[in-house]
Amino acid sequence: MKKSRLRVPGPTEVPEKVLNKMALPMINHRGEQFRNLFLKVSEEIKYVFQTNNDVLIFPSAGTGVMEAAIANFFSPGDHIVSFQCGVFGERFAEIAESYGAKVEAIKVDYGKPITKEIVKERISNDKNNKIKGILFTQNETSTGVLNNIKELREAIGNHPALVIVDAISSLGAVELKTDEWGIDVVVSSSQKAFMLPPGLGFISVSEKAWNAYENSKMPKYYFDIKNAKNSLKKGETPYTPFVSLIYALEESLKIIKDEGLENIIKEHKRLSKVLREGVKAIGLKLFVEDEYASPTVTAVEIPEERKDLQKFLKNKFNITVAGGQDRLKDKIIRIGHLGYVDFLDIIAVISALEMAVGDERLFGKGVKAAEKIYFEGGL
């Protein structure tokens, strides 16, 4: 029997302690026990966001809170600038367009990051402050690119537009200092670095964003953040929550706090480098340069002679990796290394890739390169 190894960039594997929490008996979601639990996790999750702002929890996928980030702060016709370097940046813009916003898309090639120069040039030209919102994707999961949100925020300066960041595949694994960097709205979800099953969406809201909410004319109901905040004051959600996932969230937040966010971020960087150096040693080509490579997902170009690479890994070793999306379909595989993942998980993928290439002269080379990087970081 082959053990399943889930190496997609979400959903990620879930620790046994977290899974066990989901087996607890169901409780009244309007009772004192849930009230205490929900108030606790709603406060503790602020540590991961690095914020003192409100963090609201919705029963949804990440796309749901992306929609909330549009519907709650803008009005039809508002000018929103979307900086895009992949599929998920494009999705954010599509959501805004569906609500009637006037979206200006500024794109760079897939595999490249948004630069501070691009942002500064566009925002500095908005002399009359017509731009109401600025959308960034911190970690573009479709390509394996990490955008430097700190630099991009600094490039905006004191422009009054709301700065909104999709941190779905980065929060909890990549540095993001919401308050210190002046990010108005950050969205994330449960099935990535939080080490949970899919089903919870998170959104942090600054005071500036709450002021924008009061002037918003876009329709909202299920994702109305004011309803969510008013319910939170009572330790409740407006509508039925995922009770079992809230139990699981309590456990995952404990794991994160015990290990320390700084240590977790450091280890994600380390494992990313381990994988990348292993892939290089085999002779496979990485889609993204080291300088702006994601610590949570790595894109590897599919060699011409191994077009079945994704299927090979699945059929031979039960290792599940993600394929490319949109224009990158059948051109790359994406290997996830976030959340509940360790060094030996990465070694297993590298070893399988060595065998997939099929050149016995390469056997062990990727693993050796990976071990060298890991050993240099200290055991």
C-beta atoms surrounding 225 within 10 Å: 25
In degrees and rounded to multiples of 5, residue 317 shows phi and psi of -130, 0
Give pLDDT tens digits along the chain (379 positions). 778 999 999 999 999 999 999 999 999 999 999 999 999 999 999 999 999 999 999 999 999 999 999 999 999 999 999 999 999 999 999 999 999 999 999 999 999 999 999 999 999 999 999 999 999 999 999 999 999 999 999 999 999 999 999 999 999 999 999 999 999 999 999 999 999 999 999 999 999 999 999 999 999 999 999 999 999 999 999 999 999 999 999 999 999 999 999 999 999 999 999 999 999 999 999 999 999 999 999 999 999 999 999 999 999 999 999 999 999 999 999 999 999 999 999 999 999 999 999 888 889 999 999 999 998 876 5
CA atoms within 13 A on the CB side of 255: 20
Q: What is the pLDDT of residues 172-220, one digit of tens each?
A: 999 999 999 999 999 999 999 999 999 999 999 999 999 999 999 999 9
Regarding whether 192 and 273 lie in a shared domain, the answer is no
Print the domain residue range for 215.
16-258
Provide the CA 68 distance to its chain's centre, in angstroms.
16
Name the binding residues: 334
Q: Which of 206, 232, 258 is the last residue of a domain?
A: 258
The CATH number of whichever domain residue 349 belongs to comes to: 3.90.1150.10
pLDDT value of residue 359: 84
Tokens read off for 116: 């501070």
The CATH number of whichever domain residue 111 belongs to comes to: 3.40.640.10
- Nearest-angstrom CA–CA distance, 251 and 318: 28
β-strands 54-58, 201-205: how paired? antiparallel
Regarding whether 371 and 226 lie in a shared domain, the answer is no
Which of these, 73, 78, 156, lies nearest to 114 by C-alpha position? 156
- Nearest-angstrom CA–CA distance, 69 and 164: 7
- Nearest-angstrom CA–CA distance, 18 and 10: 16
- Is residue 225 within 8 Å of 68, Cβ to Cβ? yes
**3-state SS of the chain?**
CCCCEECCCCCCCCCHHHHHHCCCCCCCCCCHHHHHHHHHHHHHCHHHHCCCCEEEEECCCHHHHHHHHHHCCCCCCCEEEEEECCHHHHHHHHHHHHCCCEEEEEECCCCCCCCHHHHHHHHHCCCCCCEEEEEEECEECCCCEECCHHHHHHHHCCCCCEEEEECCCCECCECCCHHHHCCCEEEEECCCCCCCCCCCEEEEECHHHHHHHHHCCCCCCCCCHHHHHHHHCCCCCCCCCCHHHHHHHHHHHHHHHHHCHHHHHHHHHHHHHHHHHHHHHHCCCECCCHHHECCCEEEEECCHHHCCHHHHHHHHHCEECEECCHHHCCCEEEEECCCCCCHHHHHHHHHHHHHHHCCHHHCCHHHHHHHHHHHHCCC
Regarding whether 265 and 251 lie in a shared domain, the answer is no
Name the binding residues for substrate: 334
Alpha carbon separation from 21 to 124, 147, 228 (Å, rounded): 50, 34, 24
Number of separate domains in the chain: 2
Regarding whether 336 and 317 lie in a shared domain, the answer is yes
Regarding whether 318 and 236 lie in a shared domain, the answer is no
- Nearest-angstrom CA–CA distance, 258 and 95: 37
Regarding whether 277 and 174 lie in a shared domain, the answer is no
- Is residue 352 within 8 Å of 321, Cβ to Cβ? no
Regarding whether 301 and 230 lie in a shared domain, the answer is no
Regarding whether 122 and 243 lie in a shared domain, the answer is yes
- Whether cis (ω within 30° of 0) applies to the bond prior to 219 is no
- Nearest-angstrom CA–CA distance, 238 and 289: 45
pLDDT value of residue 379: 58
Provide the CA 286 distance to its chain's centre, in angstroms.
20
Tokens read off for 203: 């959104």
Q: Which of 213, 229, 258 is the last residue of a domain?
A: 258
- Nearest-angstrom CA–CA distance, 337 and 9: 7
pLDDT value of residue 348: 97
Regarding whether 227 and 126 lie in a shared domain, the answer is yes
Output Rg (C-alpha) for the chain, integer angstroms.
21
Regarding whether 115 and 91 lie in a shared domain, the answer is yes
Which of these, 109, 172, 166, 110, lies nearest to 133 by C-alpha position? 166
- Is residue 135 within 8 Å of 149, Cβ to Cβ? no
Regarding whether 218 and 273 lie in a shared domain, the answer is no
Regarding whether 252 and 279 lie in a shared domain, the answer is no
Q: What is the pLDDT of residues 307-319, one digit of tens each?
A: 999 999 999 999 9
pLDDT value of residue 17: 97
Q: Which of 208, 234, 258 is the last residue of a domain?
A: 258
